Amino acid sequence: MGNNIKRIRKQKGMTQGDLSEMVGVTRQYISDVENLKKIPSVKIAFDISKALETNVYELFYYLG
């Protein structure tokens, strides 16, 4: 699984700290998700997509 969170977050002019506050997780958690060290729960994935004003399909993709 890969993600576009970092790219979309930067396009929106947001820091990891900004996103973490909006989602209710730590900045380190956002960093770990962006760097594929953690896979977010479905709820957090949807919270991230809402904060970034995109859909979850835009954020995540399968590396097969």
For residue 10, what pLDDT is reported? 97
Both tokens assigned to 42: 């479905």
CATH of domain 2-61: 1.10.260.40
pLDDT beyond 80 at 60: yes
For residue 62, what pLDDT is reported? 76
Both tokens assigned to 18: 């900004």
Q: What is the pLDDT of residues 13-47, one digit of tens each?
A: 999 999 999 999 999 999 999 999 999 999 999 99
Which of 2, 4, 18, 15 lies closest to 49 in space, CA to CA?
4
pTM of the model: 0.91
Per DSSP, helices labelled H in the chain are 5-11, 16-23, 27-34, 42-51, 56-59
Domain ranges of the chain: 2-61
For residue 32, what pLDDT is reported? 97
